[in-house]
Structure 1
Amino acid sequence: MSKPRFGYTCSTLMFYHSLLRQYTNKISLIMAILADKALTFLRVHAFTCMMIAYGLFVVIGAVVLMILEQPEENLLVKEVRELKARFLADNPCVEESSLDRLLMNVLSASKRGVAALESASDKCNFDFTSSLFFVIAFLTTTGYGSTVPLSDEGRVFCVVYCLVGIPFTLLLLSSLTHALLPWVTHTPIHNLQVFWGLSRNHAALLHCSVLAFCTATLFFLLPAGALCLLENDWSYLESLYFCFISLSTTGLVDYLPGRTQSRAARQGLEFATSCYLMLGLIVLLVVMESFWELQQVQAIQRFFAGPRQGELKGVGLDELVLSGDMAGAEEEPHYTLPISTISPAFSESPATPTIELPPIFGLPPIAATKENVPPSL
């Protein structure tokens, strides 16, 4: 009696197992179709999706910042109003309107870099080091905003000076970046390929990882620690925040080094910050260019730019600088096609053997057929 029952149970389990496999295959097929349609939609509308995603990213950032900072702002406003009310209660001879005018004038002068307190009145915003710091901050588009021109002539000069200086600075930074890129990126990647036997993609990923780690250590973590030691009122997080807003050219005015120290210390910190800005921006541009050359980053860029972007490659900027022997040469643009399109599976005629000629006068090697090789003299 137990055998038929056992066999019936096994057959039922096998039936349900096969049915479950069918449903699983159908669900997998449906998921694959939906994923393919979603990927096709993203490829067609990639740029639009990126713009929408960026807009949502900005809105989410604003909402999160509002949620985090608005309670602190309300608390600070309440404390200031209580302090003002307590001062008026302790000094009944002072009118509220007179106190408001005094506070407005003091705050306006403070925003323009002029201190109203006697202890900070010896601070000069336009000595040489302060002016150099101001110019570097403007030319690198950091613009901390702690120091502003007080005269109309100074404002006009800043406008004209920056109209010429900002493009000149960008040109200098771009030239230095492209000059350093072969030494900092291309040569190490080539050495990793030759000596370690890595593929170019893996070598580039390893090099960019090491480069990013060294940059974060030398230009963010260590300078933040030094600022934390020099500025007694700053925490390590505040020092790291200053380094980030400086090298990202955000330049918020809430943190500036040397404001609570002597004049000589402030001048030294301003000069060091000016050098830190220029050197740090050059290094960050080199790191960004190194990451930009990664295959994964290029694939993402092509995905959002469209399938036809980058198919036609003309002459690059470096190739425009030709030697005297190649002045008349003109490179034809070429299309990057798949290997299956360039080389078919079989050839109807036998391939003609080719011989690679040696380079002549710096020209690249020329591949010639055996019949076209000139006889040796």
Structure 2
Amino acid sequence: MKSWVLLTLLLVGYLIYLFLGALVVSTIESPYEGTLRDELRQLKQHFLQDSPCVNESGLEAFLEKVLNANKFGVSVLSNSSNDSNWDLASSFFFSSTLVTTVGYGYTTPLSDSGKAFCIFYALIGVPFTMLILTAAVQRLMAIFTHKPIRYLQVHRGFDRKMVTKVHFLVLMVLVLVLILMVPSAIFSAIESTWTFLDAFYFCFISLCTIGLGDYVPGEQNNQWLRPLYKVSVAFYLFLGLMFMLLVLQTFHKVADVHGLTDLFYLPRLRDQEDQEPILETPDSSARPEEPKRPLNAGAQASYSSINR
């Protein structure tokens, strides 16, 4: 009963968190949206007044075509990049964002056959990527989490709870610096229109697999070594995802050591079965006692049963 009460409180808190986020974002972004709408309306009216030969319906049809093409990464501006969005390097970048579930949405399939292929490709690629990430993070945990904690606890005699807490904070700082801040500085130097905050925002949104698509690297006009840059970003995303998962797994270990997981997770089914009383049938005394047998031939006694 206690676990269900805690789960209900978590759900209520989560809904409140979502509504607070919606309220804050709406309060911040609505004025900017209104200002931008007014500027576009005025610009449209000035253009129609200066160009009497252009009717409003024709202009809107043209703008609709341009905006739809822009959603697929195709621009008609003279200063836009003339490089294809589907060369080998860009396609490699797209496939990496697809299977890692980052999915910026800036470049999307144009044809029905491309959309159908993406479905089957992601159907295999996403679980395959998760398998590789899980296997890699398991080995990173052994190197960067289990060994340091065991060394400080066994050989240095530090308290386990204190060690896990300090280790997690140190790991978070290292990941923040090496996986977020240093790449952000590199991106802000390469992408001339990005500030450091824009680059940090891109790295964080990408490595959390949110992928809003408002910032996509390698889309500037005549960018130097663009194919190599795109492939390098794809490898950075995969490496960054591994270390983000390492932080999450380490946090789970810290929560487990401090007993926080016991508050929110259900107890193991085996523990529940051990606590259930054994009820005898009314006529058990009338029948000869049979030797007890395990439920499964291959079943073995658990560690808890041996130590009773």
TM-score (norm 2): 0.85
Per-residue CA distance 1:153-188 (angstroms, 9 max, x = gap):
111111011111111111111111112211111111
Pairing of 1:1-377 with structure 2 (within 5 A): 45-120=5-80, 122-295=82-255, 299-306=259-266, 308-309=267-268, 312=271, 331-335=300-304
Structure 1 residue 112 displacement after superposition: 0.8
Overall identity of the aligned pairs, in %: 36
AA at the equivalent of 2:271 = L
Cα separation, 2, equivalents of 1:310 and 1:203: 31
1:312·1:333 contact (CA, 8 Å) conserved in 2? no
Cα separation, 2, equivalents of 1:86 and 1:122: 30
Structure 1 residue 196 displacement after superposition: 2.8
AA at the equivalent of 1:216 = L
Runs (4+) off by over 4 Å: 41-44, 295-298, 328-331
TM-score (norm 1): 0.70
Task: Provide structure 2 residue ranges, at least 5 long, that are not aligned to the other structure.
Answer: 274-296
Cα separation, 1, equivalents of 2:269 and 2:188: 47
1:113·1:147 contact (CA, 8 Å) conserved in 2? yes
Give 1 or 2 for the bigger CA radius of gyration: 1
Instruction: Note closer, same or farther for the CA distance 1:310–1:241 as it changes in structure 2 (3 Å cut).
Output: farther
Structure 1 residue 43 displacement after superposition: 5.8
Cα separation, 1, equivalents of 2:30 and 2:250: 39
Instruction: Note closer, same or farther for the CA distance 1:121–1:43 as it changes in structure 2 (3 Å cut).
Output: closer
Cα separation, 1, equivalents of 2:271 and 2:205: 38
> 123-132 or 261-270, which moves further after superposition?
261-270
Cα separation, 2, equivalents of 1:218 and 1:121: 31
Tell me what 1:9 maps to: none
Cα separation, 2, equivalents of 1:296 and 1:283: 20
Structure 1 residue 102 displacement after superposition: 0.6
Structure 1 residue 269 displacement after superposition: 2.6
2:99·2:129 contact (CA, 8 Å) conserved in 1? yes
1:133·1:271 contact (CA, 8 Å) conserved in 2? yes
2:72·2:107 contact (CA, 8 Å) conserved in 1? yes
Corresponding residue pairs, total: 284
Instruction: Note closer, same or farther for the CA distance 1:221–1:293 as it changes in structure 2 (3 Å cut).
Output: same
Tell me what 1:350 maps to: none
Cα separation, 2, equivalents of 1:207 and 1:288: 13
